[in-house]
C-alpha cells in the first residue's frame, strides 16, 4: 500500500475544499453555531473538521472505505493482520480484547499490575481472573511485569484459562519478556494479549524495546495519545494470527464503542501513522540521543538518581527498559514525589508524569527538544535547592509484596454489583472491597472489587492519601470511608 496516503486527512481536506450543507449532527454546523468565546479558545478549525464519520467524512454507505483504508495502512505499517481504531482510548480497546477471548466465569491469566481499565473489563465480562504476580523489587518498592516463568506456572496450574494478559511497558518503562510469555501461551494453544498502552512508538526504532507483534503476541492495545502524536482518546488495537477471530473482536469493540466517533481523533491516528512510517527512525534517533543526554544531566543533580537498566533489568526484574521514561528517585532529597511534583507545577509550570512516594518521572517523546528538556533540567536543579522546604514529608507505609497481594474472595463482578455498605476505612480490615481503590497515576488498583482488604494495604492507602496520593475512583476520594460487600 502507499504509505504516503492518509485517507482520513485527505477526506477532511476534500470536505474543506467543497463543504457540505449538513442537516445532521453535530449541531454546531461546522462552528456556525458555536459561541465566539469558545472559538477564541478552541479555534474555528476544530469545529470545521468535526463531522460525522458516516454520512459526513464518507457517504451514507461508506462507499469510499475511508476508515477501512486508514486501518489497513496502519496494519501494514506495523506488520499486523488487522488494526482497529478506537476513539474511546485504550480503556475501550483492552476491554474489547478481553471480551473477545473470555466470557462470563471463564478464566483469564492477568498480571496483577494491570491498569484499572483491565479490572473494569473483568467486571463487565464477569471473567474470573487468575492473578499472576508481578516481579517485585523490594529494595525500590516497585513492581515490574510478571516473568515468563510466572505465566508458565499459572498456565500449568490453570489449563482451562482462555488466554493471558500482560502489561508491557509499564508506566515506569519496564518491559516484560514478551517473546517467552507468548511462547508459553502458544504451547498451551491460547492467545497472549498485551496492554501496550505506553508503547505506541516501539515499532518505529530498532533501539527501542521489542514490541508485542514482533514478539509473537496475538493482540496488542496501544494508546497513540500517550507516546505518539494522537489526540487524547486515540487508541489502536492490532491483531495477528488465528487464535482470535477478527470478526468476533470487531463485534466486541462495537458493543463498547461510541456510535458517534470523533473524526478528529481518527485523523490524528491516520496522520501519525504516516509520520512514523516516513520519519519515525530519524525522529527517534534524535529522541533517544536527547533522552540519554537528559538522563545523564539529571543524574548529576545532587539528591537525584535516574533509574537505568542496571536498576530495573535482570533476573527477577524487568526484561528491558524504555529509555524515554525517565524515572527519578528523589529519596535522598527527603521528600515525596507528590510534594516534588506539586512544587514543579507551582513554581515552573512543569508537570511530572508520575509522582509516587519516592519518585517523579518525565516522559520524553519525539516531540521533545533541547528547549523542553532544558526547562525540565532547570526546574529539577532548583527543586534540589528548595527540597528542604518540602521536608519533613509524610511517610507512606508501603507493604511488602505478600501483604500487598490481597485474597480474591469474590468474582470482581459479583462484588461490584452486589449489595454493598460503606464503612470507615479503619474498620475495613477483613472486609471484601466493592470498589476499585487506585492510586493515580499510574492507575494500578491497590485493591479491587472482590479482594479482601487487609490492614497493611489500608495503612498504605491511608498514609499515602495523607502524603498527597490521589485515589480518584474511590467513592470517597478522601478515603475516610470505603465501599465493601455487605455481610449477609
**What pLDDT, on the 0 to 100 scale, is given for residue 426?**
93
Q: Give the model confidence (pLDDT) of 153-209 as tens digits.
A: 999 999 999 999 999 999 999 999 999 999 999 999 999 999 999 999 999 999 999
Choose among 405, 341, 302, 356: nearest CA to 172.
Answer: 356
Pairwise CA distance, residues 66 & 85, whole Å = 12
Q: Band of the pLDDT at 32, cuts 50, 70, 90?
A: very high
Q: Quote the percentage of the chain above a pLDDT of 70.
A: 100
Residues, the chain: 488
DSSP 8-state assignment for residue 115: -
Whether residue 488 is predicted with pLDDT greater than 80 in this model: the reply is: no
Q: Band of the pLDDT at 463, cuts 50, 70, 90?
A: very high
| Spatial contact of 132 and 161, defined as CB atoms under 8 Å apart | no
**What pLDDT, on the 0 to 100 scale, is given for residue 391?**
87
**Long-range Cβ contacts of 296-302 (<8 Å, 24+ apart):** 297/377, 298/326, 298/328, 298/376, 298/377, 298/380, 301/380, 301/381, 301/384, 302/332, 302/384
Pairwise CA distance, residues 406 & 484, whole Å = 14
**What pLDDT, on the 0 to 100 scale, is given for residue 445?**
92
Q: Band of the pLDDT at 452, cuts 50, 70, 90?
A: very high
Pairwise CA distance, residues 386 & 303, whole Å = 11
Mean pLDDT calculated for residue range 285-304: 98
**What pLDDT, on the 0 to 100 scale, is given for residue 394?**
87
Choose among 481, 457, 329, 478: nearest CA to 397.
Answer: 457
Pairwise CA distance, residues 167 & 164, whole Å = 10
Burial 11-37 (b: 16+ CB within 10 A, else e): bbeebeeeeeeeeeebebbbbeebeee
In the numeric block, the cell 496522520 is attached to 271
Q: Band of the pLDDT at 375, cuts 50, 70, 90?
A: very high
Pairwise CA distance, residues 234 & 251, whole Å = 19
| Residues 6 or more apart whose Cβ sits within 8 Å of residue 206 | 281
DSSP code string of 250-297 = HHHHHHHS-SS--HHHHHHHHHHHHHHHHHHHHHHHHHHHHHHHHHHH
Mean pLDDT calculated for residue range 78-90: 95
Whether residue 402 is predicted with pLDDT greater than 90 in this model: the reply is: no
**What pLDDT, on the 0 to 100 scale, is given for residue 401?**
84
Grid cell of 387 as nine digits:
527540597
Q: Band of the pLDDT at 393, cuts 50, 70, 90?
A: confident
The predicted model scores a pTM of 0.95
**What pLDDT, on the 0 to 100 scale, is given for residue 443?**
84
DSSP 8-state assignment for residue 431: P
Grid cell of 376 as nine digits:
525540565
Amino acid at each position: 500500500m502507499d504509505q504516503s496516503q492518509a485517507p482520513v486527512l485527505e477526506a477532511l481536506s476534500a470536505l474543506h475544499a467543497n463543504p457540505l450543507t449538513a442537516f445532521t449532527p453535530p449541531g454546531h454546523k461546522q462552528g456556525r453555531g458555536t459561541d465566539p468565546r469558545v472559538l477564541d479558545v478552541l479555534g474555528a478549525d476544530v469545529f470545521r473538521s468535526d463531522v460525522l464519520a458516516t454520512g459526513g467524512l464518507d457517504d451514507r454507505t461508506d462507499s469510499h472505505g475511508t476508515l477501512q483504508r486508514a486501518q489497513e495502512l496502519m496494519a501494514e505499517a506495523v506488520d499486523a493482520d488487522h488494526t482497529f481504531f478506537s476513539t474511546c482510548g485504550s480503556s475501550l480497546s483492552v476491554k474489547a480484547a478481553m471480551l473477545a477471548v473470555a466470557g462470563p466465569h471463564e478464566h483469564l491469566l492477568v498480571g496483577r499490575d494491570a491498569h484499572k481499565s483491565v479490572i473494569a473489563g473483568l467486571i463487565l465480562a464477569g471473567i474470573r481472573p487468575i492473578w499472576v504476580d508481578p516481579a517485585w523489587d523490594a529494595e525500590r518498592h516497585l513492581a515490574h511485569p510478571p516473568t515468563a516463568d510466572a505465566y508458565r506456572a499459572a498456565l500449568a496450574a490453570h489449563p482451562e484459562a482462555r488466554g493471558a494478559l500482560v502489561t508491557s511497558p509499564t508506566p515506569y518503562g519496564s518491559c516484560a519478556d514478551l517473546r517467552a510469555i507468548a511462547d508459553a501461551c502458544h504451547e498451551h494453544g491460547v492467545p497472549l494479549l498485551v496492554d501496550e498502552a505506553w508503547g505506541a512508538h516501539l515499532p518505529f526504532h530498532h533501539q527501542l524495546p521489542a514490541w508485542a507483534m514482533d514478539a509473537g503476541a496475538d493482540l496488542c492495545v496501544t494508546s497513540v495519545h500517550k507516546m505518539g502524536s494522537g489526540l487524547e482518546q486515540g487508541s489502536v488495537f492490532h491483531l495477528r494470527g488465528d487464535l482470535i477471530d477478527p470478526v468476533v473482536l470487531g463485534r466486541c469493540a462495537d458493543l463498547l464503542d461510541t456510535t458517534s466517533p470523533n473524526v478528529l481523533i481518527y485523523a490524528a491516528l491516520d496522520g501519525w501513522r504516516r509520520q512514523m512510517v516516513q520519519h519515525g527512525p530519524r525522529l527517534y534517533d534524535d529522541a533517544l540521543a536527547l533522552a540519554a543526554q537528559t538522563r545523564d544531566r539529571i543524574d548529576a543533580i545532587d539528591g537525584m538518581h535516574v533509574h537505568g537498566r542496571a536498576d530495573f533489568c535482570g533476573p527477577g526484574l524487568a526484561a528491558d527498559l524504555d529509555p524515554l521514561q525517565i524515572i527519578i528517585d528523589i529519596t535522598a532529597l527527603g521528600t515525596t514525589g507528590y510534594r516534588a511534583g506539586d512544587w514543579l507545577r507551582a513554581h515552573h509550570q512543569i508537570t511530572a508524569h508520575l509522582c509516587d512516594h519516592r519518585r517523579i518521572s518525565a516522559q520524553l517523546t519525539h516531540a521533545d527538544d533541547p528547549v523542553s528538556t532544558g526547562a525540565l533540567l532547570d526546574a529539577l536543579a532548583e527543586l534540589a535547592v528548595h527540597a528542604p522546604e518540602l521536608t519533613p514529608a509524610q511517610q507512606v507505609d508501603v507493604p511488602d509484596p505478600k501483604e500487598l497481594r490481597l485474597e480474591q474472595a469474590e468474582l470482581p463482578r459479583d462484588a461490584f454489583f452486589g449489595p454493598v455498605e460503606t464503612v470507615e476505612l479503619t474498620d475495613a480490615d477483613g472486609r471484601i472491597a466493592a470498589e476499585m481503590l487506585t492510586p493515580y497515576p499510574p492507575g494500578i488498583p491497590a485493591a479491587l472489587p472482590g479482594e479482601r482488604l487487609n490492614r497493611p494495604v489500608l495503612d498504605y492507602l491511608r498514609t499515602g492519601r495523607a502524603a498527597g496520593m490521589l485515589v480518584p475512583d474511590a467513592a470517597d476520594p478522601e478515603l475516610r470511608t470505603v465501599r465493601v460487600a455487605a455481610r449477609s
